[in-house]
Chains A and B, each alone.
Chain A
Amino acid sequence: MGKPKRKTAGAGALAALPLYVFALVFVLGPLIYMVALSFMTRAEAWGVVPEATLKNYADIFQPVYLETFWESIKLAVVSTLLVIAIGYPFGYFMAKLTAKWKKRTMLLLMIPFWTSSLIRLYGWIIIFRAGGVFDSCLMALHITEEPLKMLYTYPAVVVGMAYALAPFMIFAVYSSAEKLDFSLVEAARDLGATPWQAFRTVSFKLTLPGLLSGVVLTFVPSMGLFFIADILGGNKVVLVGNLIQEQLMKAHNWPFAAALSVALLALTTLILFLYRKLSGASDLEGLV
């Protein structure tokens, strides 16, 4: 028994070699570079000079930059709540569909991904702009008299975020709900639970891991989706992602950009850690 087992393990390790090389070259390497950069000093005009400093980290604690972290977390929370409201019921009921309709729904969810997310965001501009689809509908229904000027507002950014991230929540909840044995719900109902009680004590508990991994998959990326705030928010919502991009591309301050990235990474790692503590799971439900 022992011998063939070891053989397979060896072959497996060999097969996984490209993965390790890939991870070393494209994940660990850049990460080390980024951390090293974050301790360097910016050059006067362009580039960096290799003088160790903690200034970049100290700069993060200036109120204006702490504010962007706080702003990012707030937006991530609001977007995630909206995504839960849309994605949880969607994923849950999708798991109850017949196999044929499951496939169709899945396809409908996938189709938008065939188009660049940037182009889809420009679609939202057409909907939200003054006299656009949204305004015309509201005015035609006599809900509002004047154009609302939804574009370049906070709600527009939240909608854009939710739109971009909802599929991740739907898939996470779906994969969890699909494994749910509905006979357990029926059993709860037979034993006298109301539909709500049955949902709360059985279905919800059993789909919680899916929901939690959906939250992670929504919350973490929403900290970095800076282009949504740019395009739909008119640059007025400054997120950490925007700040990093600006420091890198316009301010020529790469060390500060690197320090901000390390801080963002630390924050997301903390969230993943909390997720593990909370759910006791060692991976993301159904997605890893």
Chain B
Amino acid sequence: MKKRFCFLLAMILCVSLLAGCSGGAGGSGELVLYTWEGMFPQEVLDGFTEETGIAVNYANFDYDETMLAKLEAAEGGDYDLVIADDYIIETVIQQGLAQKLDTGKLENWGCVNPLYQGQFFDPGDEYTVPYGAGVQTIVYDPTAVGAGIEGYGDLWDPALAGNVGLIANYRVINGMALKVLGESYNVEDTAVIRAAGEKLLELAPNVRLIKDDNLQDDLLSGEVGAAVLYTSQATVAMAANPDLEMVFPKEGIGFGIMAQFIPQNAPNPEAAYQFMDYILRPEVSAQCYEFLGYYCTNKDAEALLPESVRPYLTLPDSFSKDDMEMIGNISAQAMEEHQKVWTEFKAACE
């Protein structure tokens, strides 16, 4: 009996090995897509494979920094298409790890919203195609904390003691204090960063938690009454509870853009072009952004977004490029000061 079981087990193992082989070799090529988890709805990925016969191998990273380290180790190879944050892409380009795009190969290149182009990380739009953008939004529950939060400054209100949640991005949170002081997110002067740190310490008694993952859950479950959220989190929160209030801080809006690029030595760049063009199609794009919950960077897709989510995924018409400030790379010295301020702030929160 035991022997037969072992034989069966061995058979199963052999079969699964064979299955593994055929899976790898099948199709007319493979696209190795490298980005965060959950960036595309499965239908979109399946639709691409169905249309082109190219299998999508979806590889994940947790932080942008992990991506850059791996890309560096692979000398710009291994991956065909990467989607990451603006600031890291600037470094990727500086390190010579991205290749220039031939936009002639992208039929739908014209669909990209110019608002998100020509930014600091790729001023000539030579390397990247945007895929979603985010702003830092304050979302609060008026039944828990009353109405009237209009900007970052209002989070300092003592009435919010122990009731505020923050995302764990030090440039964004320190930047909040910088904004309250009327400074730029990208200020280099360490004395100014220090002053923002002092200001931030006054916020500490109001802070209940700092975290990056699923902060919206703590707002929805009533753990906190107000939170500074990433756009995708704000979208989820608003969809789950429309009674929440979403605020674009009056001090100014910090922007982040996610973009796609092809690594310098991508094994299958043609597949990457096909994929980029496919997701630039307005109807596919609309599907993606509805799923993703970030701002739609495809202007032809905006009209195709369902009414229920369009207000959260598109910017008002009145919005211009001058209203946004991107969080860019700063000097090592300024970053170290930010780190110090940030560590002091976290330790001061009880």
Contact = CB atoms under 8 A, between A and B. Distances in A.
Contact of A252 (B335, B346, B347): B335
A216 to B, nearest CB: 27
B223 A238 contact: no
A129 interface: yes
Contact of B63 (A42, A131, A249): A249
Nearest to A47: B72
B87 to A, nearest CB: 10
A235 B209 contact: yes
A170 to B, nearest CB: 31
Interface stretch (B5-13, B107-115, B263-271, B336-344): B336-344
A253 B334 CA distance: 12
A130 B332 CA distance: 41
A246 interface: yes
Given A45-B94, A67-B347, A68-B343, A250 B210 contact: no
A127 B128 CA distance: 45
A64 B347 CA distance: 9
Nearest to B163: A149
Given A249-B65, A250-B63, A234 B210 contact: yes
Contacts of B349: 234, 236
Contact of B211 (A43, A44, A149, A235): A235
Interface string B179-211: 000000000000000000000000000011111
Nearest to A41: B332
A46 B97 CA distance: 13
A62 interface: yes
A235 B208 CA distance: 9
Nearest to B94: A45
A149 B347 contact: no
Given A250-B170, A253-B335, A129 B209 contact: no
Residue of B209, B332, B339, B344 most packed against chain A (CB within 10 A) = B339
A254 to B, nearest CB: 10
Given A46-B95, A62-B340, A249-B63, A236 B210 contact: yes
Interface size class of A (residues with CB under 8 A): 20 to 34
Contacts of B339: 246-247, 251, 253
A189 B128 CA distance: 81
A64 B208 contact: no
Interface string B319-350: 00000000001011001101110011011011
B222 interface: yes
Interface in B56-114: 63, 65-66, 68, 72, 91, 94-95
Contacts of B211: 230, 234-235
Contacts of A149: 162, 208, 223
Nearest to B63: A249
Contacts of B350: 154, 236
A5 B227 CA distance: 71
A187 B52 CA distance: 84
B209 A152 contact: yes
A253 B223 CA distance: 33
Contacts of B329: 45
Nearest to B223: A130
Contacts of A236: 207, 209-210, 346-347, 349-350
A250 B65 contact: yes
Contacts of A130: 221-223
B346 A238 contact: yes
B325 to A, nearest CB: 20
A115 B166 CA distance: 30
A256 B346 CA distance: 19
A111 to B, nearest CB: 25
A199 interface: no
A128 B158 CA distance: 25
B168 interface: yes
Contacts of A68: 343, 347
A247 B336 CA distance: 9
B165 to A, nearest CB: 8
Contacts of A129: 221, 223
A65 interface: yes
Lowest 10 A-B CB distances belong to which pairs? A234-B209, A235-B210, A236-B349, A152-B209, A46-B91, A238-B347, A251-B339, A64-B344, A238-B346, A249-B63
Interface of B: 63, 65-66, 68, 72, 91, 94-95, 162, 168, 170, 207-211, 221-223, 329, 331-332, 335-336, 338-340, 343-344, 346-347, 349-350
Given A45-B329, A64-B347, A249-B63, 11 more contacts: A46-B94, A64-B344, A68-B347, A129-B223, A238-B346, A249-B66, A251-B170, A251-B335, A253-B335, A253-B336, A253-B339
7 contacts: A42-B332, A130-B221, A230-B211, A234-B209, A252-B335, A253-B332, A253-B339
